[in-house]
């Protein structure tokens, strides 16, 4: 995103976002929202962007603008004869055409306006992509997947059936969930609270990651914990599986209790690549 291009829009949204609803000039606010949604739909505006050194910058004003849209919106009836649908008029379904080269298989999927899906993305039914999300080229969104508000999904990512990618709109300065390029996310995984999954990582089915999760690395024999004020970061090419650790209290030991914890069992190699390559033939 060229921040200079949207400097004026940013200033307008920041000024509008701090005003009470009754004081807003609705025409001015709606014009700013429409410009924001247009940029989000085209992928020229993003809620977070990577820097050249691999860091990620969260753009608070983008989330402020999305929240402004919810404040401005009026509940309207979008229903067809056999499909009841009532939502804010500011957030209808995303306009898609064949020229977008996004494959949406029929069966109950929905993509909200203000989300970007790049050419080559495959959407298997039913799935849902919320406003502010960004899904890059060649990624697959499998059945029963949620891509939450402002989540950033990289190139050639596979989100397997039942994956939940949490949305992060508030606080506006909080980093959204980020999945970098070539990540494989197994069925039923949940990734929440601004977690960052670095390039090439593999999450086995059932892995749950939150902003405060601690990750045990068996390869390097270390504990990966979130830095102060930062969510969890999964290292590049890590292979993460669900695990358990013993409860250390006497009561826990007496009853043989354990707590869930994710564990890095190895780092991606040729064998792992072969195990996750099936998706290419399915596309």
Query: Would strands 122-123 and 140-141 be described as parallel, antiparallel, or unpaired?
Result: parallel
Q: How confident is the model at residue 218, as a pLDDT?
A: 97
The confidence score (pLDDT) of residue 136 equals 98
Residue 269 has what pLDDT?
A: 80
pLDDT of residue 99: 95
pLDDT tens profile 218-270? 999 999 999 888 899 999 999 999 999 999 999 999 999 999 999 999 998 86
pLDDT of the residue at 3: 57
Q: What is the pLDDT of residue 82?
A: 82
Backbone angles phi, psi at 251, to 5 degrees: -65, -45
Amino acid 278: pLDDT: 46
Phi, psi of 235 (to 5 degrees): -65, 160
Domains and CATH numbers, the chain: 3-75 (1.10.166.10), 90-270 (2.160.10.10)
Low-confidence residues of the chain, pLDDT below 70? Answer: 1-4, 270-283
Query: In 10 A of CB 158, how many CB atoms?
Result: 23
CB atoms within 10 A of CB 275: 12
Secondary structure in 3-state letters for 238-272: EEEEEEEEECCCHHHHHCCCEEEEEEEEEECCHHH
Q: Counting beta carbons within 10 angstroms of the beta carbon of residue 236, is it exposed (0 to 12), middle (13 to 18) or buried (19 or more)?
A: middle
Residue closest to 17 by CA, chosen among 79, 59, 75: 59
Tell me the whole-structure pTM to 2 decimals.
0.92
């Amino acid at each position: 995103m060229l921040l200079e291009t949207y400097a004026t829009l940013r200033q307008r949204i920041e000024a509008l976002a701090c005003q009470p609803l009754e004081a807003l000039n609705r025409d001015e606010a709606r014009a700013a929202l429409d410009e924001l949604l247009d940029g989000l739909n085209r992928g020229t505006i993003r809620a977070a962007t990577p820097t050249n050194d691999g860091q990620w910058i969260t753009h608070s004003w983008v989330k402020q603008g999305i929240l402004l849209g919810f404040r401005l919106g009026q509940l309207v009836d979008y229903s067809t004869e056999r499909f009841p649908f009532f939502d804010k008029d500011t957030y209808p379904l995303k306009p898609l055409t064949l020229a977008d080269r996004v494959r949406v298989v029929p069966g109950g999927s929905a993509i909200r306006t203000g989300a970007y899906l790049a050419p080559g993305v495959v959407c298997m039914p039913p799935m849902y992509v919320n406003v502010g999300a960004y899904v890059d080229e060649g990624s697959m969104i499998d059945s029963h997947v949620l891509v939450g508000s402002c989540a950033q999904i990289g190139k050639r990512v596979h989100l397997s059936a039942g994956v939940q990618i949490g949305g992060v709109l508030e606080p506006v300065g909080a980093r959204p969930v980020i999945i970098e390029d070539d990540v494989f996310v197994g069925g039923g995984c949940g990734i929440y609270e601004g977690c960052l999954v670095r390039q090439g990582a593999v999450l086995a089915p059932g892995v749950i990651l939150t902003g405060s999760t601690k990750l045990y690395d068996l390869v390097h024999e270390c504990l990966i914990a979130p830095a102060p004020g930062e969510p969890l970061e999964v290292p590049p090419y890590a292979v993460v599986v669900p695990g358990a650790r013993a409860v250390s209290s006497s009561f826990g030991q007496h009853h043989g209790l354990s707590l869930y914890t994710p564990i890095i069992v190895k780092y991606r190699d040729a064998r792992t690549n072969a195990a996750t390559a099936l998706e290419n033939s399915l596309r």
